[in-house]
Amino acid sequence: MKRQHIAAPGGKPWLRPAAAAALAFALCVLSSASYGQAEDRSIRPFKGQVSQAALDDLRRRIAATRWPDKETVADRSQGIQLAKLQELVRYWGTGYDWRKAEAKLNSLPQFITTIDGLDIHFIHVRSRHPDALPIVITHGWPGSIIEQLRIIGPLTDPTAHGGRAEDAFDVIIPSMPGFGFSGKPPGTGWNPDRIGRAWIELTQRLRYKHYVAQGGDWGSPVSSAMARLAPPGLLGIHINLPATIPPEVGAVLASGGPAPAGLSEKERAAFDALDAFYKKRRAYGVIMGTRPQVIGQALTDSPAGLAAWMYDYNDGEPERLLARDDFLDDVTLYWLTNSAASSARLYWETGGQSVLSAAAQKTTEISLPVAITVFPEEVYRAPETWARRAYRNLTYFNEVDKGGHFAAWEQPQLFSEEIRAAFRSLRRLAGAN
């Protein structure tokens, strides 16, 4: 195993003294990488260690933030309010400690493997319980592997968290291409389908015969892509941002028209939530889907701008439902790995297709079992009628009473209980891995 230094875009080693002050994402990677002409299929141990120069540079940039004038309304209808953002960013620059998050990550088994020419970082925690069911859990934007850390314990060691030994999972949490410690795609084509194929390859390298997949946000279309491919060994998927919008409802939402006639109470509530989301809260997706390089440049140069861009998600859900340090762990990972632009390109790769549209996500092509949990503060509450129409083999559907878009982060115990329940009926098909 040898020590590697990640190089700057210009090819200069990050740890040269002359360049140290400019380092925003200098990382020392512990890896046994050795590449030949053919793709290296080895799985290499990884630990991320950020240089002190990178952290000092981040604090200097935060201290030098140029603030805009105050919003002209008394609410957050123009976005995150200036005073709230200033409070968050000033704490980020003076009281927040990245080393705690780094130590937490490095206490877990982390690895790198090269798939389809790209380095893929992942956490892999095996359960101590026999016959644990492997699960691949995929994050989204503005999330990262940080959002799933609190479910590792309940899933791998259920008896210590109110569950049964037979509910145990082996947990695999990859960083998506362009996110966190994974490589940044040098070309186009890394869409949810390609990522799904990479995850299938990852399970094969880990020598699992049977497994399940889970995802929210972008993790939902990635998991759905895996299910459409239906590789040998994949037993089913669980998603918490399902693509249930029927075509006729999607057409009305796209045009900005009134709700269609004949909707039930729950369907009308879903329509209204989606209508508000598309008209008032989805600007970030439109911008990243059309001009990721432009917004990427702005976010890469300004920590305060990056924090604001992410903190405002889903009408300020991070402000409402996440602890301050939890959110800052996530945004700091984006900053230190310089992944604002590379993560935004995932929106561009999908060509504007909605991750919520049943037609766009080709849900009728999924024959494997699908499980869905609806969390009340998600972008919309998917109605069961829409879900059963979209997914022909819907084996589990449940609406819970708390949690939102970052459900695993916000409600780890409840989320873990849902995962156990969703896949319980599939375990008998898994056999021994």
pTM for the model = 0.90
Q: Does 9 have pLDDT greater than 50?
A: no
pLDDT of residue 433: 59
Element (H or E) spanning 231, and its range? Answer: none
Which residues have CB under 8 Å from 66's CB, separation 6+?
none
The C-alpha atoms of residue 399 and residue 409 are separated, in whole angstroms, by 17
**Terminal C-alpha separation, the chain:** 28
Which residues have CB under 8 Å from 193's CB, separation 6+?
225
From start to end of 144-200, where are the E strands? Answer: 169-174
Q: Does 316 have pLDDT greater than 50?
A: yes
CA of residue 285 relative to chain centroid, distance:
15
Question: For the purposes of burial, counting CB atoms within 10 Å of the CB of 234, is it exposed (0-12), middle (13-18) or buried (19 or more)?
Answer: buried
**Share above pLDDT 70 across residues of the chain, in percent, rounded to a whole number:** 91
Positions annotated as catalytic residues are 217, 347, 405
pLDDT class of 428 with cuts at 50, 70, 90: confident
Q: Which CATH architecture has domain 103-245+351-430?
A: 3-Layer(aba) Sandwich (3.40)
Cβ atoms of residues 400 and 374 within 8 Å: yes
pLDDT class of 161 with cuts at 50, 70, 90: very high
**pLDDT digits over 229-285, tens only?**
999 999 999 999 999 999 999 999 999 999 999 999 999 999 999 999 999 988 899
pLDDT of residue 431: 65
Q: What token pair was written down for 252?
A: 């009305």
The C-alpha atoms of residue 99 and residue 105 are separated, in whole angstroms, by 10
pLDDT of residue 16: 34
- Delimit the domains of the chain by residue range: 103-245+351-430
pLDDT class of 335 with cuts at 50, 70, 90: very high
Dihedral sign (CA 269, 273, 274, 279): positive
User: Which residue from 227, 209, 202 is spatially nearest to 371, judged by alpha carbons?
Assistant: 227
